[in-house]
Structure 1
Amino acid sequence: MRIGLHALGIGNGARPEVIRAVAAAAEARGFARLWVGEHVVLVDDPMSRYPYSADGRIPIPAPADWLDPLLTLSFAAAVTGRIGLATGVLLLPEHHPVVVAKQAATLDVLSAGRLTLGVGVGWSAEEFAALGVPFARRGRRTAEYITAMRALWSQDVASFDGEFVRFEAIRVNPKPVRGRRLPIVVGGNSDAALRRTAALGDGWYGFNLPAATVAERLSALAGYCERQGRRVDELTVAVALSDGAPELLPGLAEAGVTELVVVDAPPARPDAAAGWVGALADRWLAHAP
């Protein structure tokens, strides 16, 4: 099992000197990937329910700095050479897929093929309203955008005629490094997210899951994969736990988890980053099966 780190882009993790120090230390200590999430906007008093907490409220204060994930990972790529990079997750229906395809392929080229594109459908109606994107049918929009981006990556001259996006005989370069394809990980814990993973994903990212629910979610994912004529072991499975402990790692690996993502906030001082990353590595990597 690999161990990833979801720590950059927010608060202290939005400071360039901290990003540089954490990224370098995480690579040196053997973390598999750096994960960075996204919100384009936050509002002070949202009506939308955050799906990853018991009280329905996002634990990040609205005034906090929250960097763009692709730009953050580009900065991290420039100060590292081996560690994987993953959006965890980019809210795909909030963006034009032609632009995302261009940006993601650019980062993949600049990082020598280290990018995994994690995508989600979003949960904040207020955020969609601010961006002028319909909140309804965002799942269908996401599925179509994934298909359109894969056409852009794989074809020299691409055309697409969908409900939400259309283009005719266009060239979008560069192409991703690994066979003109970027691995797409679908985020979300709901049945809809699992169905989307089975239909379209190269992997799944379950976020802030209680450890006791992981096996059930993976069983549901396996069922959806079977309906699609796929095997669940064809997918990568990354999970961030809400109540995890290193002793759980062997059982999670046996259940089918391929990457445990440690979610934490880095220290404010860059000179403390190496020790902080080292403590996380000592706690988690030593127990990885």
Structure 2
Amino acid sequence: MRLGLHALGIGTGARREVIDAVAVAADDSGFATLWAGEHVVMVDRPTSRYPYADDGRIAVPAVADWLDPMIGLSFAAAATRRIHIATGILLLPEHNPVLLAKQAATLDLMSGGRLTLGVGIGWSEEEFAALGVPFARRGPRAAEYVAAMRTLWRDDVASFDGEFVSFDAVRVNPKPVRDRRIPIVVGGNSDPALRRAATWGDGWYGFNLSDALEAAERIDTLRGLCREVGRDPGELRMAVALRDVDLGDVTALACAGVDELVLVAAPPDDAGAAADWVRSIADRWLPAIASA
């Protein structure tokens, strides 16, 4: 099992000097992945329910800085050499898939093949309305966008004809580093989200799960869905972030088949203290991860 850190892009983690310090320290300390999520807009009085909290409310205040993850992660990639970077998650139906395919391939190339594209379908109706994107059928839209992006990455001259996106005989370069593919990890804890991961994902990112038992139950469900669609569950990468995680969860998560435990935390205000903050997390968690 590996250890990831979801700390960049929001609030103090949106500051350039903090991004540099956290990224370098995480790279040096042995973290596997730096994760960053996305919201294009926030609203002061949302009516949409946030699915990752019992009270239905997102903890991030609407006034907080929230970086575009593709841009924020490009700075983290530029400051490092080994650690992987991942969107966790990017709201795929809100993006033009042709443009995103080029942006992702560019970041993958410039980082030396270190990008994982974590995607989800979104939950905020207000955000979709602000972007002029239909909220309905966002699940099928996301599935089609993934197929279109994979076509653009794979083919020198690409054509695609779908319900939501079409193009004919176009060239989109550069291509991703690893066999013209970028791993696509599906976010979301619901059964429909797990079905998307089983059907067309390269992995699953379970976010803000209550505990290791819920993580294990969701992974069992995902494995069953993989078998239903004729896929080997072992092909999928499993990453999870728990709401209240402690060292005692590590062995249970490893036994459940988790490939990466992602710690969600906000870095300190002082960039000068960020490196020590990262190292203290690594010193506490990496020995337990290594022995799991």
Deviation per residue, 1:74-132 (Å, 9 max, x gap): 01111100000000000000000001100000000000000000000000000000000
Q: Name 2:288's counterpart in structure 1.
A: 287
Equivalent positions of 1:201-240 (< 5 A) are 201-211=201-211, 212-240=213-241
Equivalent positions of 1:42-61 (< 5 A) are 42-61=42-61
Cα distance in 2 between the residues matched to 1:122 and 1:76: 25
Cα distance in 2 between the residues matched to 1:207 and 1:127: 20
Cα distance in 1 between the residues matched to 2:18 and 2:189: 30
Equivalent positions of 1:39-78 (< 5 A) are 39-78=39-78
Instruction: Give the number of aligned pairs.
Output: 289
Which is worse superposed, 236-245 or 278-287?
Answer: 278-287
What is the CA distance between 1:284 and its match in structure 2?
Answer: 1.3
Cα distance in 2 between the residues matched to 1:246 and 1:32: 18
CA RMSD of aligned residues (A): 0.6
> Is 1:253 matched with 2:232?
no
Q: Name 2:264's counterpart in structure 1.
A: 263
Instruction: Assess if the C-alpha contact under 8 Å between 1:101 and 1:153 holds in 2.
Output: yes
What is the CA distance between 1:248 and its match in structure 2?
Answer: 1.2
Equivalent positions of 1:152-171 (< 5 A) are 152-171=152-171
Equivalent positions of 1:59-138 (< 5 A) are 59-138=59-138
Cα distance in 2 between the residues matched to 1:231 and 1:224: 10
Cα distance in 2 between the residues matched to 1:2 and 1:90: 22
Instruction: Assess if the C-alpha contact under 8 Å between 1:233 and 1:256 holds in 2.
Output: no
Output the amino acid matched with 1:279: S
Q: Name 1:272's counterpart in structure 2.
A: 273
Instruction: Assess if the C-alpha contact under 8 Å between 1:90 and 1:117 holds in 2.
Output: yes
What is the CA distance between 1:234 and its match in structure 2?
Answer: 1.1
What is the CA distance between 1:282 and its match in structure 2?
Answer: 1.5
Output the amino acid matched with 2:124: S
What is the CA distance between 1:42 and its match in structure 2?
Answer: 0.2
What is the CA distance between 1:193 and its match in structure 2?
Answer: 0.5
Instruction: Assess if the C-alpha contact under 8 Å between 1:188 and 1:205 holds in 2.
Output: yes
Which is worse superposed, 239-248 or 150-159?
Answer: 239-248
What is the CA distance between 1:215 and its match in structure 2?
Answer: 1.2
What is the CA distance between 1:34 and its match in structure 2?
Answer: 0.2
Cα distance in 2 between the residues matched to 1:142 and 1:186: 10
Output the amino acid matched with 2:32: A
Cα distance in 1 between the residues matched to 2:254 and 2:234: 12
Cα distance in 1 between the residues matched to 2:215 and 2:286: 20
Cα distance in 2 between the residues matched to 1:242 and 1:236: 20
Unaligned runs of 5+ in 1: none
Instruction: Assess if the C-alpha contact under 8 Å between 1:189 and 1:217 holds in 2.
Output: yes
Cα distance in 1 between the residues matched to 2:59 and 2:67: 16
What is the CA distance between 1:279 and its match in structure 2?
Answer: 1.2
> Is 1:244 matched with 2:245?
yes
Which is worse superposed, 244-253 or 182-191?
Answer: 244-253
Cα distance in 1 between the residues matched to 2:247 and 2:201: 27
Output the amino acid matched with 1:243: D
Cα distance in 1 between the residues matched to 2:79 and 2:216: 37
Which is worse superposed, 178-187 or 273-282?
Answer: 273-282
**Identity in percent:** 68
Q: Name 1:2's counterpart in structure 2.
A: 2
Cα distance in 2 between the residues matched to 1:28 and 1:273: 13
What is the CA distance between 1:251 and its match in structure 2?
Answer: 1.4
Dislocated runs of 4+, deviation >3 Å: none
> Is 1:150 matched with 2:150?
yes
Cα distance in 2 between the residues matched to 1:243 and 1:231: 30
Cα distance in 2 between the residues matched to 1:111 and 1:218: 30
What is the CA distance between 1:231 and its match in structure 2?
Answer: 1.8
Output the amino acid matched with 1:127: E
Unaligned runs of 5+ in 2: none
Cα distance in 2 between the residues matched to 1:4 and 1:246: 15
Deviation per residue, 1:105-162 (Å, 9 max, x gap): 0000000000000000000000000000000010000000000000000000000000
TM-score (norm 2): 0.98
